[in-house]
Each structure stands twice: as C-alpha cells, then as structure tokens.
Amino acid sequence: MVTIVTEEDFVIRIDDKYFSQSDLAGEIGNKINCSTTDVLKVLNTLGDVVKDKFSDEDKSVTIKIFPGLKVTSRKILPEQSKSNLQLSADRIFKTTAKFSDDYKKKIRELYNMKYYN
C-alpha cells in the first residue's frame, strides 16, 4: 500500500507495510519453535480477553499487551471527543495505544543497527 502525504510545496511518498495476524504468528512460531496454528489460537484468545476487559463497566481499562505496549480504553462523554465508536447516547468508546519510552528507544536502536551499521 502506498500513502501519499502532501506538505505545502512537496509530496512525500510512503510505502506502507502491512503484516497480517498470520504473518506475525508465523514469525512468532519460528522464534519459539511452535506451530503457527497454536500461536494463532493464543493471539485469538488474547483478542477475546481484550474485548472482554474493554467491555467491562469500568470507565477506564488499561491492558499491558506485552512489555512496552499498553492499550487503554475509556468511556467518555460525547463532548470530550470528535468521533469514535459511540456506545450509547451518553458514552463514547475511545482507545489509545502507547509504547513505553524504553521500548521506543530499543526500536530506534534496532533500526539504526539494521540500516546505519
């Protein structure tokens, strides 16, 4: 997929990479010597657990998906958001994902090692 981003006097072309759940399951399976099918079962179950936790009555739920990534869901008032998934007339479901500073640092280090060394 190609995304075109325009900035005043110039155009930036960005080649987007997409990794499906199966792609990731294959890589994970190879790293831990486990079948892709078993990894997919775990990932799908993780998805079910996340949906279950996010559908709780709590106004805010944060889940640490893995070390370095937290996903938060909040039920907020409509006037607090431009748009998102509206749950009812009085609440909107808003999600955010955040990498820790340490995890971002490790990604930068790995990127630099791959492309600048």
Helix axes 21-32, 36-54, angle to 10 degrees: 120
Give the DSSP H/E element, type plus range, for residue 82: none
Interatomic CA distance for residues 88 and 74, integer angstroms: 14
- pLDDT, tens only, 57-94: 878 999 999 999 999 998 888 777 766 555 566 777 88
Higher pLDDT, residue 46 or 76 = 46
Q: pLDDT tens across 4-24, in order?
A: 555 555 666 667 888 999 999
pTM of the predicted structure, to 2 decimals: 0.72
Query: Which two three-digit tokens encode residue 39?
Result: 């990894």
E-only strand ranges, the chain: 2-7, 10-15, 60-66, 69-76, 85-88, 91-99
Q: Choose among 83, 82, 62: nearest CA to 72.
A: 62
Hey, what are 86's tokens? Answer: 């509206």
Distance, in Å, from the CA atom of 69 to the CA atom of 108, rounded to the nearest integer, reads 15
Task: Give the residue among 53, 43, 103 at the shortest CA–CA distance from 73.
Answer: 53
